[in-house]
Amino acid sequence: MEGLSSTPFSASAVVLVIVATALLWLWSFRWQQRHRLAPKDWPIIGATIETLRHFDTMHDWILSYFQKGLKTFRLTLPGSIRTYTVDPANVEYVLKTNFSNFPKGETYHRCMETLLGNGIFNADGDDWRHQRKTASFEFASRVLRDYSTVIFRDNALKVAEILAKVSQTHQPIDMQDLFMRLTLDSICKVGFGVEIGTLDPSLPAVPFATNFDNANEAVTYRFFDPLWQLKKLLNIGREAMLSRSVKVVDDFTYRVIQTRRAELKVATSQGKHQKADLLSRFILLGEDPNQNFTDKTLRDIILNFIIAGRDTTASTLSWFVFLLGNNPGVAEKVYEELHLLEQDVDFNKSLTLNEKIVQYASLLSYDVLLKLQYLHAAITETIRLYPAVPQDPKGILADDVLPDGTVLKKGGLVTYVPYSAGRMTELWGEDANEYRPERWLKDGVFIPVSPFKFSAFQGGPRICLGKDSAYLQMKMTTAILCRFFKFELVAGHPVKYRTMATLGMEHGVKVHVSRRCS
């Protein structure tokens, strides 16, 4: 009997010890986490809950940890360790010094593949090198540059015509929507050789654009959702939306490819001059048996150029208008520089506003745009604070150590963060959060900085091929618009980013547009 009565006592003691041990461990763990500068790291789930809770403010959440004094920190998610850095030495090591150890990686490719396929921004190894070499040749082509300049000018004039009408109504307009239309029309003309008419004065609905944005957000969410593959299998939630959106995008893209193939075949048979758009040039390159370009290959190539040529440029232009609205002094300096271009030109005083705009636009050649130093600085300052690609993850092929001593494990991700880097006082001074184009100028001349400090366009072997083209379109557009119009932000309209691969605005940027007197 005594033996039997001792059993419950022993079991209770064991349970008590287990509970006490668990509580002690929990208290110790909580104490450590309370004093942890990086995101809290829970057993099994890591920082998943905190990450998803801050998904809509992802970039500022990450920034908050850098502002605690960190230059590099870790974020643990199930099956993955993410390392974030703003240290220029680390950025240079990843993008240049040991470039081969930091590809896009399997995680990035798997998450983005549904939208970007195996295009240049989602490819590694031989596939990337081959596409990079081909694209480098095309972007260096004077034919493409001259063709792009004409397209950018024509579409900027369409935007100006729309704003001229809006300025008479005193009704607000969403400039992001207008810029997305501008860049979509431009990239579809430069990239596909087709007119899709989104800048028609009636501003028609654009299913391709809406679905492309939805797909962009959905693939970005995959990086932080450990259950996305299950959701894809079950076709639920964001994965269901992604599937529907990509179908719309693909239907449009494949239809254009098939149409362009047929047109080129007819043109070749008639001995006519080939088209200058990228798709036509890639189709012709694909006629080489060694290239083996299928329609899927072309689809991936073009959609990668769209996300680079549409979303990035439109988001920068939108933030530019937002910043001008908050900094009227900068807007006046931009106008003064643009107005100087007319000093040796005899404008006809009897011209209508639209006729004046067309005449002014004719002055804006590629070489003239290069001379606009303050405008270039104002756009670059916009990119510093609101980089089109706010963070860029890279895979890790082998264990490594960053210059600051941070240990990287094979299979994880290391991410450099332009959004945070642009706001670091250690890099840009105590006025890092201020919009001040003058920081880029010395005696009125634009002075670039290291691409590893200002990493919005990457650096090293993967430095952005479309950088010059993007500046060309942004300067062409802003030169025409800022010369003839003022932008006043609509009071109370919320301006915040939407967490995607690019830094688009959640609700756009609404402004009242007025004409400049002269």
- The C-alpha torsion from 221 through 225 and 229 to 232, rounded to 10°, is -50
Give Dmax (Cα) for the chain.
116
Whether the CB-CB separation of 514 and 486 falls below 8 Å is answered with yes
Residue type, 301: I
Q: CA angle, corner 219, sides to 217 and 221, nearest 5?
A: 70
Handedness of CA 258, 261, 264, 265 (dihedral sign): negative
Nearest to 159 by CA among 513, 516, 517: 513
DSSP, collapsed to helix, strand or coil, labels residue 150 as: helix
Distance CA 300, CA 288 (A): 18
On whether 111 is known to bind a ligand per the annotation, the reply is no
Instruction: State both tokens at 160.
Output: 């100006």
Whether the CB-CB separation of 298 and 120 falls below 8 Å is answered with no
Interacting residues of 172 by C-beta distance below 8 A, sequence separation 6+: 490, 493, 510, 511, 512
Q: Report how far apart the first and last C-alpha atoms of the chain are (Å, whole number).
A: 107
Distance CA 269, CA 260 (A): 14
Distance CA 391, CA 411 (A): 19
Distance CA 46, CA 24 (A): 20
Interacting residues of 194 by C-beta distance below 8 A, sequence separation 6+: 188, 256, 259, 260
Residue ranges at the known binding site for heme: 464
Residues annotated in a binding site? 464
